[in-house]
Structure 1
Amino acid sequence: MKNICKIGMIGLVLALVNCQSVNYNKMFYEDVKPERVSDQFSFTEGPSADKEGNVYFTDQPNDKIYYWDWKTNQVIEFLDKTGRANGTHFDKDGYLITCSDDQGEIWKISKDKKVEVILKGFEGKRLNGPNDVWNDSFGGMYFTDPLYERDYWVDFKQELPHKSLYYRDKDGKISKLETFVQPNGIVGSEQFKKLYVSDIDAGKTYVYDVLGEGKLSEKRLFCEMGSDGMTLDKHGNLYLTGDGVHVFDRSGKKIYHIPIPEKWTSNVTFGGEHNDILFITASKSVYTLPTKVKGVK
């Protein structure tokens, strides 16, 4: 009986190991490495895909926004003078929302490049420098506001004594939801009703349940790793950045690592015709990696 139990346990362990192996083999192609698309930038950040699968991203030191055209595999300049845009995300109406931290603002940019400043501060005070943003289906947005004093800021004086997560509703009302050491990357999912926020200086990423419009559960520790940027695939796996791209399953267990030959990997998203191309911003370059999985919508 004991031998049967032992054999059964060994079989279970092997099955679990094989299951884990199959999981990431179903996600990534063997021997396919990230391809550098361009290295013409100073520091790339904030990738987000439009409805056609083209990926927009920022070069903050040069104050520009570019996009990657998946049909031609070319990078094209979209906008100059962006308010030093950092993180970006498309809202449900197709506007590009940017964390334009030069004056502590959030911008809404149309495809024909018309700019509207939709957020300038909180309770009459300048924001530290909005960093990353995620738009929900209600027409609102969650955004992080850490503090990274930029050498191009002129006469900056910190007016808010905290670094926080905020929610701006569809009518423009802003609520402070939580304070962190240094909040950074953020991503959410309507499908899974989750919001993930990285506290990069604390070396942690947290998860919330999304309970309604601007309403979150208490935060829970997701994993002991901070991140500059992040994205989700359709299975709920979370992709974090820093030393390459680290993939975590829904339980917070690390299941895969994608090395990137750059000093720092800042951010990541899915794009392309079928939303299955991982687009990676890393230092002075941008990369693409075909995968077997699609990004979450």
Structure 2
Amino acid sequence: MKIAAIDIGSNAARMQISSVLTNKKTISFKKVEYVRFALRLGMDVFNSGKISSGSEARIKKLLQAYQLLMELHEVDAYMICATSAMREAENGDSIVERIKNELGMEIHLIEGEKEAELINNVIVVVLQNDKTYLHIDVGGGSTELNIYKGQQKIAAKSFKIGSVRLLEHKEAPDVWKKMQAWVKENVPTHVEVTAVGTGGNISKLFNMIENKKDNKATLKDVEKMRNYIEKFSLEDRINKLQLNADRADVIVPASDIYLSVMKWAGAIEIIVPDLGLKDGILLLVYETLMNEE
């Protein structure tokens, strides 16, 4: 069986096709295809409030390409989720309707809370029962914060601040203060808190850190790498550091969110699992298929 997940974010759209592997009662997903394309919808929406006709045309072309790949791989089921930029766009609903009519592909506009829930469903596997965690997921348009006691979520909040929104200076002036106040109010102060970071920017930054242990890095490691990247011009980040163009300009703003939240929470370490929204969508697709049988 093959299933697919498509995540249309504020910065990029991703598709992952995975084979479902079963070993006795254990289910796992093996990646067989992964495609990422920088749509940059957030630049449209956070500046004008809507998605341009040019961007709509690119969404359709990309989904047609994804559709062909899924046909070639003989995918049994898939799901498309769109997050901050498309759900905030004035014309988001009408674009979703046109795509359904023209391509037969249904896009689900999900709220920040649903986005966090899908990610959390796969994140819990890396959490230990005797520890406290602060999960930080930074996208192009929003940041989801979730507090866990072991594998039990005890608090969650979505904020309209993300890498593309910061790059375009379209974040609300008081959003930093609101986020800090929420962290101070909800994160336990009497126990050690470990951060868990998801999102393309923290994954890339984490991979650039040398001498890290397993899937964990220190606050100092992250800050040092963030400052190192900032010293390079945009051109040098692309040519010398070999960052994608749509990663090179947002990785520092995104890092500032992770670092700020960690400092407010008193977290000195961050775990960066290779998991994200696409993995949560895959799990939902599989569970939906199983419930239909």
The two structures have a TM-score, normalised by structure 2, of: 0.29
Higher-helix-fraction structure: 2
Alignment TM-score, normalising by the size of structure 1:
0.28
Higher strand share: 1
> If you compute each CA radius of gyration, which structure gives the higher value, 1 or 2?
1
